[in-house]
Amino acid sequence: MMSSSALSHLIIGTIALIASSASQANPESTDANSKVMFDDFSYKTLAEAQKNGWVPRTQVGHPGIKNATWWSEGISFHPDQSNANNTVMRLTSKTDGSAENTRHTQICHQRKYLAGTYAARLYFNDQPDFGPDGDGIVETFYTISPLEAPMDKNYSEMDFEYLANGGWGEKENVLFSTSWETFQLEPWTKENAFDTYVKSLQGWNTLVLQVFDDSIKYYINGHLFSEHGSDVYPEVAMSMNFNLWFIPEQIVASTQMRQYHQEVDWVYFNADKKLSSQEVVTAVAKLRAGNVKQKDTVPHWQPKLDSYCGL
């Protein structure tokens, strides 16, 4: 016969196991016990965003038009055109074809991200705000680490890149998904995997990236369009970024100034849960319903890595 003490321990253990199973199966616990970063971009100024870990790029360099300026003035916050109660972040870039008068734009969050579910809601534009159309323009959401040396294997990068006027061998509107093992600039050499989704994405789009167990999956508006494997799986921590830049080999033969912009409604990261696009949207809606404008429970690496916004 089981002793009362043993029976008591069995009951307690069974209750704990049931509670644990219920917690794992409960969709309401998506964020409760997870390492999460969420930003609704409900800011009025760039200085406010910087207080929550966002860094504007000012360093000259790759990619884009050589020696062009990366300007923090291109980052601003505005009412959503379809919902005046919502605020979005806008990235604005412009060029007249010269390096002197080109302004690229980039903003980065702290270098502390690796495996997890990444997501963002972006507004892509197929036409310039003004000026002649046709430049190679790249509108992005991506993650990246520094490249410590040419062809260094301890490098990580995963990109959503929308080319509104085509480029890189594509003549139409195209979304590239690219996962990188490494590269070098001179001479240009790369080890990566990529896929394309050829379609106009003018307007709002939800981008989701699942990074788990040597598998990288890219989704656009709930549709899985790209999957990469262990050969390009990230090895080191990355920053989470947005940028807007011009392809130097695809510049319109005009000295007239032209300007493009993209917008970001929100960004979300969950280090512990592999979430579908709908589950991400539900998690974001729940945060917004709770009036959460920004949340960050993703710990820094130890020792803490410097914020990085140079690529």
The tokens for 294 are 């920004």
pTM over the 0.95 mark: no
Tell me, what's the pLDDT at 24? Answer: 35
Residue 6 forms part of a structural domain: no
Where in the sequence is the domain holding 78, given as residue range(s)? 36-296
- Residues 197-217 have a mean pLDDT of 99
Residue 101 forms part of a structural domain: yes
Q: Which residue has the higher pLDDT, 28 or 150?
A: 150
Q: Which residue has the higher pLDDT, 243 or 307?
A: 243
Residue 308 forms part of a structural domain: no
- Residues 71-79 have a mean pLDDT of 98
The tokens for 151 are 């062809």
d(CA 69, CA 309): 14
**Band (257; pLDDT cuts 50, 70, 90):** very high
Cβ count near 99 (within 10 Å): 14
Residue 156 forms part of a structural domain: yes
Mean pLDDT score of the chain: 92
**Band (10; pLDDT cuts 50, 70, 90):** very low
Residue 305 forms part of a structural domain: no
Residue 7 has pLDDT above 50, yes or no: no
Residue 166 forms part of a structural domain: yes
Residue 3 forms part of a structural domain: no
Domains: count for the chain: 1
DSSP state letter for 39: E
Tell me, what's the pLDDT at 302? Answer: 94
Residue 48 forms part of a structural domain: yes
**217 contacts 137 by C-beta, under 8 angstroms:** no
- Residue 158's nearest CA partner among 105, 115, 202 is 115
**Band (307; pLDDT cuts 50, 70, 90):** confident
Residue 9 has pLDDT above 60, yes or no: no
Residue 261 has pLDDT above 80, yes or no: yes
- Residues 283-302 have a mean pLDDT of 97
Strand partners, 118: 209, 269
d(CA 66, CA 248): 8
Tell me, what's the pLDDT at 134? Answer: 98
Domain CATH code at residue 68:
2.60.120.200
- Residue 75's nearest CA partner among 62, 58, 56 is 56
